[in-house]
Amino acid sequence: MPEVIPDDSVGLVTPQQFHSDVPLTLRSGRVLPEYDLVYETYGELNADRSNAVLICHALSGDHHAAGYHSMDEAKPGWWDNAIGPGKPFDSQRFFIVSLNNLGGCSGSTGPVSHNPETGKLYGPDFPIVAVRDWVASQAQLADHLGIQQWAAVVGGSLGGMQVIRWAIQHPERLRHAVVIASASKLSAQNIAFNEVARQAIAKDPDFHDGNYLEHNTIPKVGLTQARMLGHLTYLSDDAMRQKFGRELQEGKLNYSFAPEFQVESYLHYQGEKFSTRFDANTYMLMTKALDYFDPAGDYDHDLVKCLSHASCDFLVVSFTTDWRFAPERSEEIVSALIEADKNVSYACIDSDGGHDAFLLPITRYHQVLDAYMNRIANELEGRS
Amino acid sequence: MPEVIPDDSVGLVTPQQFHSDVPLTLRSGRVLPEYDLVYETYGELNADRSNAVLICHALSGDHHAAGYHSMDEAKPGWWDNAIGPGKPFDSQRFFIVSLNNLGGCSGSTGPVSHNPETGKLYGPDFPIVAVRDWVASQAQLADHLGIQQWAAVVGGSLGGMQVIRWAIQHPERLRHAVVIASASKLSAQNIAFNEVARQAIAKDPDFHDGNYLEHNTIPKVGLTQARMLGHLTYLSDDAMRQKFGRELQEGKLNYSFAPEFQVESYLHYQGEKFSTRFDANTYMLMTKALDYFDPAGDYDHDLVKCLSHASCDFLVVSFTTDWRFAPERSEEIVSALIEADKNVSYACIDSDGGHDAFLLPITRYHQVLDAYMNRIANELEGRS
């Protein structure tokens, strides 16, 4: 918790709520009759409403991307290193919007919300949402905020998938797309990792087919395991070697099945911490959205044809040691954009941070974001 | 099941039992007062007992490496493609020995055996065994068979670790070491994968702290999950892409949490099949042996110093897409052997088979094994 708010922080922020009464027909065919989205904003919308930037979150993210909710908060928002005065997403120049997605567990309508039609918790009955459903709801939020066109839509990992969907679904509503550590579709290997994680949750006896809250419990064990696996695969082999190597927790082997190596204790800690803050049904939903995403599927599985519907410019960023969303996946997007005659900048950032690198304040990475966003801000300020 | 035994098969084989009354002090300090090893042999021991080859199995292997136990057996032993007349480990030239390791669940003393001191099943009380303990017991078996020196000790993955241990522990007892898809120690990432798998088993309510057989059950769910994860990581991203891609089980999305993609169904099938044939306590033990292996640890963490104790020649083999036992890990061994002034041949085999490639009949791989073993056989036959 900060003694004083740092100068480069967006400062104290208060989440806001958007309620939509417009029924939303989801990709699955199911209809959400109404829904809430919780969001935060940083900076000021300019007079011609042209400086708005949308931040899309990844699997375990939420609307709290920057700043502090109170002076007692232990840590700032999840992307505080990139959002604030003088940072790549500069709140002195941009009006930045960050929301919790539908199906989330941080305030937007999701499994832990009440179903208005039954008065009961949605729980496992909350419909499986697709990336396009999130984008549709985000477009409603943009309407509500009076934003006709985003200066940029930005996201990493699952967030990057939302950016791609924005670009092809609402080409007139964004000028720039920033797609970080993402992919145009998951590989079989990635789907398999997600399924192993879902199984860990679904097979926890405390899961109760998703009705755990009715049973006054949570599937802590399963969610811990799912997160241990996820966390492990978001790191690189090299980073784990440097951080933990084969160091032992107590300096010697115990010849027991309790965690002995430091890497084991670390993963247990990360998994258990996550299991008490995150909703298991939300985790299940979010991984399904990842698995399902495949926008080229609607265009004869031709990514060039798919991306030809975009009219914005693109920045694509990948990280050398990210093996779950490998540079090759970003490069497929870049190649397709070039073939579709779009403007695209691409940077593959040297990092040992694995997939999690997209959340880290890596100098070269932030320089790339900074340069790109600076150009956008200069354009805006030149014309306004 | 074969209609007729193929010409290049070792044919029908009968497992044999070796009983040791010599107490074995394990690395952990615990003592096994007596134990059984189940093993098979293929081919004939020559007059001067110089043509014996030991096959060491990996995590889920057993003594049944080649041939058939009966005409009704659906599939031959696990390495039948490499062992038999005219195959790399040619049973017309070598006397091949394959055993089930201590702690296994296929006939050798392990968690599903009775503890002679209590008369009850060992279960979770079976001591955690280390690679060196296996080698010590294998040396007892060699004595029993009258084999003073192996022509070669051979193994892949965890099997390769046993080969390394043989080379430094009993340098006078082998002339050649064949180390395939292995490592001189596990990385933090590999330990982490093992721990997630162990957690899946340990947290299954049917595990009962390892006493599941007393409860007339098995931790099927946990062992299935552990195997799904293991299996997935033993394949390469490329192979999964080619084999499954994003193909759907029923041709369309169901918007449910049941397996939808073919890769999910495949992993479920593999996991469930394994969960009924393999013992969970054995799985736990075997992964611990993997984690613990670090022979250089006894030599100031200097692999060169460690391997300088070997006096045999080495063949080291790795596979391009094996990311759990990457070529770099084999190359560390090769470099240390060169620095220690040992004779070493090395081949990195181009394959999309991931770690599992070491079990596949890849032409170039088998050519390398064949050439190496042929040289050994020629030496033998020249001098006998």
CA distance A147 to chain B (A): 32
Which has the closest alpha carbon to B61: B28, B99, B24, B93?
Answer: B99
Q: Is B4 exposed, middle or buried (0-12, 13-18, 19+ CB in 10 A)?
A: exposed
Q: Confirm or reject contact between A367 and chain B (CB < 8 A).
A: no
CA dist., res. A64 & res. A288, Å (int): 23
Cβ–Cβ contacts within 10 Å for residue A55, how many?
30
Phi-psi category of B107—alpha, beta or left, where left has phi over 0 and alpha has psi -120 to 50?
A: left
Q: Confirm or reject contact between A205 and chain B (CB < 8 A).
A: yes
Interface confidence, given as ipTM, is 0.94
A198 is in an annotated binding site: no
Whether residue B200 is predicted with pLDDT greater than 80 in this model: the reply is yes
Nearest CA in chain A to B247: A188
Which has the closest alpha carbon to B121: B134, B106, B131, B111?
Answer: B111
Q: Which residues of B define the annotated binding site for substrate?
A: 227, 356
Do residue B240 and residue A198 have CB atoms under 8 angstroms apart? no
A209 is in an annotated binding site: no
Nearest to B241 among A127, A188, A257 (CB): A188
Do residue B232 and residue A191 have CB atoms under 8 angstroms apart? no
CA distance B353 to chain A (A): 13
Clarify whether B322 is annotated catalytic.
yes
Clarify whether A322 is annotated catalytic.
yes
Do the Cβ atoms of A65 and A160 come closer than 8 Å? Answer: no
CA dist., res. A281 & res. B67, Å (int): 48
Do residue A188 and residue B225 have CB atoms under 8 angstroms apart? no
The terminus-to-terminus CA distance of chain B in angstroms comes to 38
Query: Which residues are within 8 A (CB) of A298 and not within 5 positions of it... i.e. 6 or more apart?
Result: A306
Do the Cβ atoms of A131 and A292 come closer than 8 Å? Answer: yes
Q: Where are the beta strands (DSSP E) in B307-372?
A: 313-319, 344-349
Do the Cβ atoms of A127 and A135 come closer than 8 Å? Answer: no
- Written as tens digits, the pLDDT of chain A (384 aa) is 567 889 999 999 999 999 999 999 999 999 999 999 999 999 999 999 999 999 999 999 999 999 999 999 999 999 999 999 999 999 999 999 999 999 999 999 999 999 999 999 999 999 999 999 999 999 999 999 999 999 999 999 999 999 999 999 999 999 999 999 999 999 999 999 999 999 999 999 999 999 999 999 999 999 999 999 999 999 999 999 999 999 998 888 989 999 999 999 999 999 999 999 999 999 999 999 999 999 999 999 999 999 999 999 999 999 999 999 999 999 999 999 999 999 999 999 999 999 999 999 999 999 999 999 999 999 988 865
Phi and psi, residue B129, nearest 5°: -100, 150
Do the Cβ atoms of B267 and A192 come closer than 8 Å? Answer: yes
